[in-house]
Structure 1
Amino acid sequence: MHVRHGLSRLGQYRQPNSGLIAIPLALISAVTVIDSSIPTTVHLGPFLVAAPAITASFAGPTLTGAIGALAVAAQALIGQLHGGLTTANHLAQIAALFVISVLVTIFCYVRNRRERKLEEVRAVAAMAQRVLVRPLPRRMGPLQIASTYIAAEAEAQIGGDLYAALPSSGATRLIIGDVRGKGLPAVDEAASLLGAFRGAAYRELSLPGIAAHLGSSAYWNKAHLADGDPNAEESFATALVLDIHDGGPFIKMVNCGHPPPLLLRDGKVRSLEADEPALPLGLTAPSASDYKVETFTFEPGDLLLLYTDGVIEARDYSGTFYPLSERLASCNTTDPHSLVRHLHHDLLRHAGGNLGDDAVMIAITKSR
């Protein structure tokens, strides 16, 4: 697994802007020239400590240490010009500047080392996410598909929302789900559900059969984890399982407590509400008879948007929920990739860049 080995070189983690480097250099030059020209009773040398401190804000420890050494040399030059290096005042200023420069350089090294480790964790988590929730293909049969996953725990980039799409007999079979909670505790349940979905889909089970298989998997997985995790009893997942048929303008869907899909047709948005939604997965050990298949029309030119509740529950600074239906209706495109990109940026802008829960959006259109 590739994880940014290039970050290991100490001085290369941060690439400083040449314009920013000019700031501490100009400060050292200005203090040296001015302090050498003014009366010896006025001391500007202590301002030199700002040079390594400023450098540490945008550069690595190597450059920070070099600027610190240059500042110490400038202080020594000022001392030489103002009566020699043997005076107690100049020796104290040089020693203080040297100690502070060393401390700032050490701090910069520790910070960069932590950032390298964090970047490696993010890279590993992102790879794990791609293995767990594989990117959807841009095309499956007559369908164009675009998706985005936004994890609430930005440092981990992994969470409990899940989705998958597989070809079936004359249809494309999809799942989108949301495990209660976020972060690593939800990952195990998401992995279990995705494995159960793929196994059931390849066996060509009916939609109620798949939903029952998912429900049983979630229920028994929760029972297995209950002894080691006191929160496992409260675990459940919402999910949509649907077939988009190739040869007919319709969708068949089973809703297990999940937010209903949105259908955009001729600039109008319709919520595909199930008449009899089933319970979320994991609450009971179900049978296929517990699930009812709902049928909706889905014609060429329509756009179907699947999403998790992290989207519609995102709040702005005033506490207003994200108005997904309104934003979808106001979009001027039915291209799924452009639409998902627009909604992704619009959602983050609405929430100020911080989501309270993982969020997934999947846009689907059918070719004419």
Structure 2
Amino acid sequence: MIPKTMHAMVLTGHGGLDKLVHQKDWPVPSPGPGEVLVKVGACGVNNMDLNARTGWYGSTVTEGMTEQVALEGAPAGATDLGNWNREEFTFPRIQGSAIAGTIVAVGEGTEPDRVGQRVMVDPVLRDEQLPFQARGVGSIGSDTDGGFAEYAAVPASSAIQVKAKISFVELAGFPVSHNTAEEMLARANVQAGDKVVVRGAGGGVGTALVQLARIRGATVLAIASAEKEAEVRALGASEFVARDVEDQTAAVVSVFGRRGVGVLCDVVGGESSMEMLSLLRRGGRFVTSGALAGPFARVDLREIIYKDLQILGIASPEIETTANLVRYIEAGQITAHVDRVFPLTQLREAQRAFAEKKFIGKLVIQVSEDDLSGCPVL
């Protein structure tokens, strides 16, 4: 029986961690037409949660996502504090885009036999009438309520059944990070034999990039903090450069040679991201999905023009990308490296730990107990 109220961590406005408030009797949503109601088992923590809460997406914010911004919110005087679509948030809002759980009810027009399915939720809200790469018009947990609560109503098409014996905690480590990574590699056309540099290889998207690039047969050089080297190599990186070396570009050149890189995957941003374009060979691809070290960088246009480079920005993976991930998961080809698990009531603590960046892979909020005994398998 579905209760009328639930526990939820509710975002009450842009700002610091104090804007996240635990509510014990929040109304359980009802699934509308074309929706399903998911009993949330777990929900991953991602950069977009902090970006939206703090107001970092605002166009007048010029600094990166520093620990101070992550904990206290955007600088005083920042304006246009909308989401990545540059529209204003509405509050209160339940965040949490990386949902894993069980379908417990369906809305009008949805097959009733979906009740009971264990699912991973694709976080992107799409308008299928728009062209390819323009369909992503929003995100669960930003434009609609998400998974930092006991129940979430989501589009039925976004709730993808996973037939594998895998806990909700691990399953919640895949949405957002892994489908972003897979979309980056797909659009950059990474193939066997490519030399790929992953900048920011210790986080959720970075660890996913390492694994997924190796599945495609690429040789991966990972850049991350020195203490993460062993774990990043275990995920599939053949080469490693410590983030704090004096000259990252020179360190990569010593491994792959000058202009020897086919694809540069960047989830960090900042001034040095554009400096690393010199690593790319002719026809190389620079693909980015993050700017946490800073949203601005100077670029030498000659690097792009005279080497026929491609520059790709990734924010809204296609639904087919998430379907690919499910196939990888069901085949046991990839894992979500979950570093730590927090209960729902400790979302503030989880976001604090996320801001400190002293973890590898994923931080996950466990919302309810998980029973794998009846888990379907292929």
TM over 0.5: no
Q: TM-score scaled to structure 1, two decimals?
A: 0.24
Higher share in strand: 2
TM-score normalised by L of structure 2: 0.23
Name whichever structure is richer in helix by fraction. 1
